[in-house]
Amino acid sequence: MAMNLVITPEAEEALSRLAENKRADYVRIAAAQTCGCGSIGYRMHWEEERSPDDAVVEARGLALLVDPDSQPHLDGGIIDYKKSELSEGFFISNPNAPQGGCGCGGH
């Protein structure tokens, strides 16, 4: 599957810095339901192996892997990188994901 995944310039710069000190061959991006309301949460982590079913997105010297179950939740998504006084990190969003309220208070 060809992934339509937008990587902002800020995220590209952060990925470039990660590529300088690789801990593994790949970075896996995973999407999973986070609670009963159907909200999707995203994770990124270093990965040693690639599955034949993974979609691969090249980004500034890193190969980003997306497994088949996560692909529908990431297609059309945006990877951004934000830094503030209190936090810093990658943020993944998908404007095509279903929107809805949740009473769990977790997101």
pLDDT in tens, 44-99: 999 999 999 999 999 888 899 999 999 988 999 999 999 999 999 999 988 766 66
Boundaries of every domain in the chain: 25-93
Going by the DSSP 8-state scheme, the letter that residue 10 receives in this structure is: H
- The Cα 48–Cα 25 span in angstroms is 5
Q: What are the distances in angstroms from CA 73 to CA 32, 66, 85, 89?
A: 8, 10, 30, 20
What is the bridge-based pairing of β-strands 55-59 and 62-66?
antiparallel
What's this model's pTM, rounded to 2 decimal places? 0.81
Which residue in 27, 103, 16, 29 sits closest to 72, CA to CA? 29
Does the domain at residues 25-93 carry the CATH identifier 2.40.160.10? no
